[in-house]
Structure 1
Amino acid sequence: MDVDADVDAVADELYGLVPARFTEVRDERAAEARKAGRAAAARAIAGLRRPTRAAFVSNLLVRRRPKEVAALLELGEALRQAHRSLDGTQLKDLSHQRHVVVAALARAARQLAEEEGQAVSEGVAREVEQTLHAVLADPDAAERWSSGCLSTALTPPVGFTGLPTSAPARPRPAVTDAGRPTKPKPSREAGQRRARLEQARRTAEETRLEATAREAELRRAEQEQRDHDRMLAEAGSRVAELERQLREARTGQSEARRAAAGATDRVRDAARAAKAAHRRADAAADRLAELPGVEE
């Protein structure tokens, strides 16, 4: 394995880990490369930067949602093409689609991270959205993002909004040698059909992304319900056990009270009997003393 392939394989592994494990595993892989005599690879691996929280969330989205990633890359290419051609109508439609898709993917990324136990603050969520906007605007950013190995969030280029800054110039009709404008070849009906088809495709894609986000929310809610149901069942079991112990303790308390009352009665009876015995003994002693002595 050459150096680049070696480093790429390790990077792919590392940037799939939660940030807390990144440094430890990176150092282990660098040490393994040095031990194997791959000094250049070891230096490159050791230089890999731990991802920020926003970069980790962005990488997680790329790795877990490949279909949505492909759709976003296609949308970015369409947006950039519309900018180049100054197609105002298409830019307006694509810009609306861009906002819907970015919002849906940002929600999906946040849910994926939280399922991994990684909290996502509002600031991190905004960085993830900015990364997605950068992907739509810049092909280099798109390539870096789609690798799933970002170390920091991306920033869209200044001025990219997905809309033309001014209305594109209306193209002048072609002129024949006779000086008469030529008739456009595509029919109006065909153009309308293409527009309806494109709109239907965008609507279907937006709906699919929205459904994906809702499914993720449903899975999260179902998991929360299962967790709460389990906690409720465990709490019910503990309550039942404590109630059983309480009943046993109360039964033991009642038995102890009865035993204590019986012991008290026995002590009282024994004290009376002892007192009576003492009186009889004293009386017997008095009678004995009154008897005449026996002479020998």
Structure 2
Amino acid sequence: MELDAVVDELYALAPGDFTAVRNERAKEARAAGDRELAGRIRRLRRPTTAAWASNLLVRASPDEVDGLLRLGEALRQAHQDLDGEQLRELSARQHRLTFALARQAERLAARAGQRIGEAARQEVQDTLHAVLADPEAAGEWAKGRLTRPLDAPVGFPAAADSAASAGKPAPARRRAAPSAGEVRDLEAARAHRREQRERLERAERQAAEAEQELHDREVESAAAEEERSRAETERQQAEERVTDLSRRLREAEQEQQQSREAARQAGDRARDLGREVRQARRRAKDAAAQVRELRASGPARPR
């Protein structure tokens, strides 16, 4: 079993199936004697709904992935060169592409049986903005193994989307620095989003822990049910043996009673025969004595 293969399998699953399959693969690795691999598998985190939808987009739409990565390279280069015209054109493409891909991820998730809400769809779109702004984020996203959505960048050309889409000209060489109020608003928005994400992660972590506990209880319940079934089978077999032994005991007792009765009858018959033998012996003895007496008292025989 290879870790990469397990990771690819797990992060292609719907979030609801992740924990059970992860635990099963860890169990298989442990049974195969690879405790280190089992531990690494066990530590894999279940993706949030938005992260899963982002991974699904990567796996299902490789052409769109390549297009977004190329657009990110072009945007970063234009931003570095302060090329206003190029930034306006690419920013407009960025807005259209990230919006379309986020909707596509939403449709893919729905076809996979998992509908995502507006908040999750926005997190997918924020992830795509992060991919355009940061090559490291792009590389992470392109693996299709995100566990949580990526933060949208602040100050990257994405900020020019609304102006470009409204037809307003952007500066040719240098963008105006945001005002103190705008900075506060941006920081407040980021703090609010970060708080929401942390709350979501806590809720998902608690849900994963509850799901893990449920899985453990289900395993224990199945083991207990198997033990109960085995004990019930043994009880039935024991009762059958008791019934059979009881029947055989009754039959043996009947045979014993019959043997005792036959022995008693044989004893009675032997005693009767013994008495008759003694009586016959006495009669024979008496008869012999009488013969001797008659011989002794009778006339002599002629010579």
Shorter-chain TM band: 0.5 to 0.7
What is the CA distance between 1:163 and its match in structure 2?
Answer: 6.2
Name 2:134's counterpart in structure 1. Answer: 138
From 97, 100, 103, give the equivalent of 1:104. 100
- Whether the 8 Å contact between 1:92 and 1:163 is mirrored in structure 2 is no
What is the CA distance between 1:132 and its match in structure 2?
Answer: 0.5
> In 2, distance between residues paired with 1:158 and 1:141?
14
> In 1, distance between residues paired with 2:19 and 2:39?
14
Q: What's the CA shift string for 1:180-203, capped at 9, x where partnerless?
A: xxxxxxxxxxxxxxxxxxxxxxxx
Name 2:173's counterpart in structure 1. Answer: 168
Q: What one-letter code is carried by the residue in structure 2 that aligns with 1:97?
A: R
> In 2, distance between residues paired with 1:163 and 1:89?
15
- Whether the 8 Å contact between 2:87 and 2:157 is mirrored in structure 1 is no
Name 1:87's counterpart in structure 2. Answer: 83
Name 2:65's counterpart in structure 1. Answer: 69
From 146, 149, 152, give the equivalent of 1:150. 146
What is the CA distance between 1:31 and its match in structure 2?
Answer: 1.1
Q: What's the CA shift string for 1:152-182, capped at 9, x where partnerless?
A: 011123222346896427xxxxxxxxxxxxx
> In 1, distance between residues paired with 2:80 and 2:147?
30
From 33, 40, 45, give the equivalent of 1:37. 33
> In 2, distance between residues paired with 1:123 and 1:163?
20
Q: What's the CA shift string for 1:243-270, capped at 9, x where partnerless?
A: xxxxxxxxxxxxxxxxxxxxxxxxxxxx
- Whether the 8 Å contact between 1:88 and 1:163 is mirrored in structure 2 is no
Q: What's the CA shift string for 1:59-78, capped at 9, x where partnerless?
A: 11111011011100100011
- Whether the 8 Å contact between 1:131 and 1:156 is mirrored in structure 2 is yes
> In 2, distance between residues paired with 1:40 and 1:157?
37
Normalized per residue, the structure richer in helix is 2
- Whether the 8 Å contact between 1:138 and 1:156 is mirrored in structure 2 is no
Say how many residue pairs are matched: 165
Name 1:48's counterpart in structure 2. Answer: 44
> In 1, distance between residues paired with 2:114 and 2:34?
34
For structure 1, which runs of at least 5 residues remain unmatched after alignment?
170-296
What is the CA distance between 1:26 and its match in structure 2?
Answer: 0.3
What is the CA distance between 1:32 and its match in structure 2?
Answer: 1.1
> In 1, distance between residues paired with 2:4 and 2:10?
10
- Whether the 8 Å contact between 1:30 and 1:43 is mirrored in structure 2 is yes
Moved more, 133-142 or 31-40: 31-40
What is the CA distance between 1:115 and its match in structure 2?
Answer: 0.8
1:128 aligns with 2:133: no
> In 2, distance between residues paired with 1:156 and 1:110?
18
Q: What one-letter code is carried by the residue in structure 1 that aligns with 2:13?
A: L
SS of equivalent residue, structure 1 residue 119: coil
What percentage of residue pairs aligned between the two structures are identical? 55
- Whether the 8 Å contact between 2:130 and 2:152 is mirrored in structure 1 is yes
Q: What one-letter code is carried by the residue in structure 2 that aligns with 1:168?
A: R
What is the CA distance between 1:83 and its match in structure 2?
Answer: 1.2
What is the CA distance between 1:16 and its match in structure 2?
Answer: 0.2
> In 2, distance between residues paired with 1:24 and 1:106?
28
Structure 1-normalised TM-score? Answer: 0.53
- Whether the 8 Å contact between 1:91 and 1:162 is mirrored in structure 2 is no
Who wins on radius of gyration, i.e. which is larger?
Answer: 2
Name 1:21's counterpart in structure 2. Answer: 17
Q: What one-letter code is carried by the residue in structure 1 that aligns with 2:47?
A: P
> In 2, distance between residues paired with 1:129 and 1:89?
24
- Whether the 8 Å contact between 1:136 and 1:142 is mirrored in structure 2 is yes
- Whether the 8 Å contact between 1:23 and 1:50 is mirrored in structure 2 is yes
